Amino acid sequence: APPGATPTAADRAPTLTLLGHYGGEAEALALDAGRVYLGVGPRIEVLDRASLAPLGRTAPLDGLVRDLVLDGTRLYVGHGDGLAVLDVADPARIQVQSALDLAAAGAIRGLTLADGLLLAAGGAGLQVFDLVDPAAPTRIGTAGVGRSPLSVAWAGGRAYVGHLGGLTVFDLTDPANPAPLGELALTSGAQGLLLSGDLAYVAGDRGGLQVVDVADPAAMSQVASLEVGGRPQAVDADGSGRLYLATRFGGLSVVDLADPRAPTLLASFETPGRESHAIGVRDGQAYLADGGGGLQVLDLVDPAAPAPRAAHPVAGRMTALDLAGDRAYTVQAFKDARILDARDPAAPGLLGRIDAPQAEDALVEGDRLYLARGFEGIAVFDVADPAAPRLLSTLGTGGNAMALALEGSVLHLANLSGYLAVDVSDPTAPVALGALESSSSALQVQARDGLAVLGTGEGVWVLDTRDPAAPTRLAELALDGASSGLLLEADRLWIAGGAGDLQVYDLSEPSAPIRLGRYDLANGGFAIARAGDRLYVGSAVGLEVFDVRDPAAARSLGRVRLGGRSFGVGVRADQVWLAGDGGLYAARIGLP
């Protein structure tokens, strides 16, 4: 498969040629004396530790980077459904030494080195790799672990695997046959692990810091628990008698271990991204992979008062996409909206940005950009000069503006609490028209030819919007769950989501929709686009493609895995653009 994606067969699978990539969140890191290795979406960026100047980066790998382990000039990368080994001696010319497809065993979430072995936690359990040839790991052993393995540590011939259910210990005397020694249930889960003597310090996503006595793996016991603020994801130490935790919905927490069995919270610091996934502490500084906040470096000279020292920004996760002309308009989760130059798909470039931390959706028509900004309502911008977007107006919507559709001069909103129509004939003074309340969350909307369809937490409403000041509900389509993606055509409605399926309805008579077909979506669906006879569905792992020449007998042509969710899909000529967890991908899809 080309770098960046793995085709999965369904009949004959599509082939993907990755043309370009932009963005992604910082979720993993590794440090050495002079460099930071930062996992950003599907790439690794290498930075100078002192200045954070970029030294090099990889091409997109097969899936999102989840963990990094450095051994000299060799970097082991857990990503998507695979393991990559990189030679990083020259960061400007990073070489892939080997790559293993581990799709059958599931995504790697944690890595550690152990006396000639590489241990990986993820998927169904623990995987043991022999490093006789460090450039080409060979899997020699596996062991099942109950609930979603997340982290792994090593000490004294034993592997400690953290998972959603707690902590499991294996004897690796025979690494080809890991033998379980004991398990401790932890309601907090074990997102991160650090071993110190007879104690394990556990970053418990749902329960703070947990201290576990592991002296006897067959009879482990929790000896302390400490709320640290946020949801701990990873833990590190620097030999100073303190622990440092990376937390989601927080940033950094510093813990005093004067009594190792009775930790106390010394300090907390909220990072810009509030999404710290990984941490490394070196030379009095904490390095945090802070999700959409990029790399954050904090000074620990006074550990009771961590202070910002430096940062390296990233574009972040993208939750919405609109392609128009030679530009791509995207929404970055909890950050902003961006205008990208899409003329060269191999190198999407930033033209302009708009601060919009509450933005949920973006829609462009001509030189007008409309943003759905959650509880802040909507905003209209003039983007004739993309480098200097100009705010024309805002409008409170009395709810949470989640999604947009435009028909003529009427803007249709999924407003969380229901439907709202807005007159934008004067973009400097939008006027709310008619509304309909919903008892479940309204998250998606499409509109054309006097009809609107509203996706809610329970199904889809079909609305008559010929008089937008007085919309009426014509029909309701019940689903087993929320609709995640909608596409309204002349007399067809495609719905992705519900119970993990794709449905198509005939709307020739809008008050009496007729279902034409229902098809399984292997990985769910979040967004839909169509080009000719092909339907492209953004899924939980990438993209699924359907032949829809006959809507009543649509056929899956296959799936392409990108390792993360795709929330927005756009088609331009022979290109497919995807916006999601890994950022923005531009690709060419070859179909059977």
| Residue 351 lies inside a defined structural domain of this protein | yes
Distances (CA, A) of 191 to 124, 181, 204, 232, 410: 16, 20, 6, 7, 47
Q: Which residues does residue 436 pair with via DSSP β-bridges, in sequence order?
A: 419
Residues 304 and 329 in one domain: no
Residues 107 and 224 in one domain: no
Please write the tens of the pLDDT for every residue from 385-413.
999 999 999 999 988 999 999 999 999 99
| Residue 578 lies inside a defined structural domain of this protein | no
| 232: containing domain | 216-314
Residues in the chain: 592
Cβ neighbours of 88 (radius 10 Å): 22
Rounded CA gap, 145 and 180, in Å?
Answer: 10
DSSP line for 194-254: EEETTEEEEEETTTEEEEEE-SSGGG-EEEEEE--SSEEEEEEE-SSSEEEEEEETSEEEE
Residues 165 and 308 in one domain: no
Bridge pairing between strands 179-185 and 192-196: unpaired
Residues 177 and 305 in one domain: no
Cβ neighbours of 476 (radius 10 Å): 14
| Residue 93 lies inside a defined structural domain of this protein | yes
Nearest to residue 159, comparing CAs of 188, 134, 137, 181? 181
| Residue 8 lies inside a defined structural domain of this protein | no
- Which residues, 6 or more positions from 526, have their beta carbon under 8 angstroms from its beta carbon? 484, 485, 496, 497, 538, 539, 540, 565, 566, 567, 580
Total domains in the fold of the chain: 4
Residue 1 confidence (pLDDT) = 36
Q: Which residue, 264, 289, 314, sits at the end of a domain? A: 314
Residues 79 and 131 in one domain: no
591 touches 576 (CB < 8 A): no
- Which residues, 6 or more positions from 426, have their beta carbon under 8 angstroms from its beta carbon? none
Q: Which residue, 101, 136, 154, sits at the end of a domain? A: 101
Rounded CA gap, 314 and 294, in Å?
Answer: 5
| Residue 206 lies inside a defined structural domain of this protein | no
Whether the pTM exceeds 0.85: the reply is: yes
| Residue 356 lies inside a defined structural domain of this protein | yes
Rounded CA gap, 38 and 207, in Å?
Answer: 27
Neighbour order of strands in the sheet with 566-572 = 15-22, 583-590, 575-580, 566-572
- Domain CATH number, residue 46: 2.40.10.480
Nearest to residue 396, comparing CAs of 423, 419, 369, 374? 374
Residues 137 and 110 in one domain: yes
| Residue 553 lies inside a defined structural domain of this protein | no
| Residue 382 lies inside a defined structural domain of this protein | yes
Residue 275 confidence (pLDDT) = 94
- Long-range contacts of the stretch 177-180 (C-beta < 8 A, 24+): 177/141, 178/126, 178/128, 178/141, 178/142, 178/143, 180/143
pLDDT in tens, the chain (592 residues): 333 444 444 445 677 789 999 999 999 999 999 999 999 999 999 999 999 999 999 999 989 999 999 999 999 999 988 999 999 999 999 999 999 988 777 789 999 999 999 999 998 799 999 999 999 999 999 999 978 999 999 999 999 999 999 999 999 999 999 999 999 999 899 999 999 999 999 999 888 999 999 999 999 999 999 999 899 999 999 999 999 999 999 999 999 999 999 999 999 999 999 999 999 999 999 999 999 999 999 999 999 999 999 999 999 999 999 999 999 999 998 899 999 999 999 999 999 999 999 999 999 999 999 999 999 999 999 999 999 999 999 999 988 999 999 999 999 999 988 999 999 999 999 999 999 999 888 999 999 999 999 999 889 999 999 999 999 999 999 888 778 899 999 999 999 986 789 999 999 999 999 999 999 998 889 999 999 999 999 998 899 999 999 999 999 998 888 878 999 999 998 899 999 999 999 999 886 6
Residues 97 and 109 in one domain: no
Structure tokens of 405? 């559709």
68 touches 29 (CB < 8 A): yes
Structure tokens of 577? 């653009």
Distances (CA, A) of 143 to 62, 80, 137, 256: 24, 20, 17, 35
Residues 427 and 408 in one domain: yes
Residues 432 and 507 in one domain: yes
Residues 374 and 246 in one domain: no
- Domain CATH number, residue 299: 2.120.10.30
Residue 4 confidence (pLDDT) = 40
Residue 592 confidence (pLDDT) = 63
Q: Which residue, 101, 136, 157, sits at the end of a domain? A: 101
Residue 498 confidence (pLDDT) = 62
- Domain CATH number, residue 351: 2.130.10.10
Residues 363 and 378 in one domain: yes
Residues 354 and 465 in one domain: yes
